Amino acid sequence: MQNLIQSDIFFFITSVAVVIVTIFILVMLWYVIRILKNIKDVSEMAKSGASFLSGDLSEMRKKIKKLFEAIIKTIERKVKKR
């Protein structure tokens, strides 16, 4: 009879422990999912920012190229005049 009571207590404590561990794991997974969603959002923002920056740099490169072409033409004209 004593063994039966001890086994009932053991199974009750084990069941409670399993429930607590399961709840803990679910809470941790919920936080991990939230963190991963935030990382995804930050990644998308960085991606769109990089795309925007790429476009700006492309425009700046074209303007600098035009400026240097104008400077080279000016220098060539001055050299031809001599």
pLDDT in tens, the chain (82 residues): 677 788 889 999 999 999 999 999 999 999 999 999 999 999 999 998 888 888 888 889 999 999 999 998 988 888 877 6
Query: Distance between CA 57 and CA 4 in Å, rounded?
Result: 78
Indicate the pTM of the whole model. Answer: 0.57
For 29-65, letters b (16+ CB in 10 Å) and e give eeeeeeeeeeeeeeeeeeeeeeeeeeeeeeeeeeeee
Per-residue model confidence (pLDDT) at position 51: 83
Query: Distance between CA 47 and CA 54 in Å, rounded?
Result: 10
Query: Distance between CA 19 and CA 43 in Å, rounded?
Result: 36
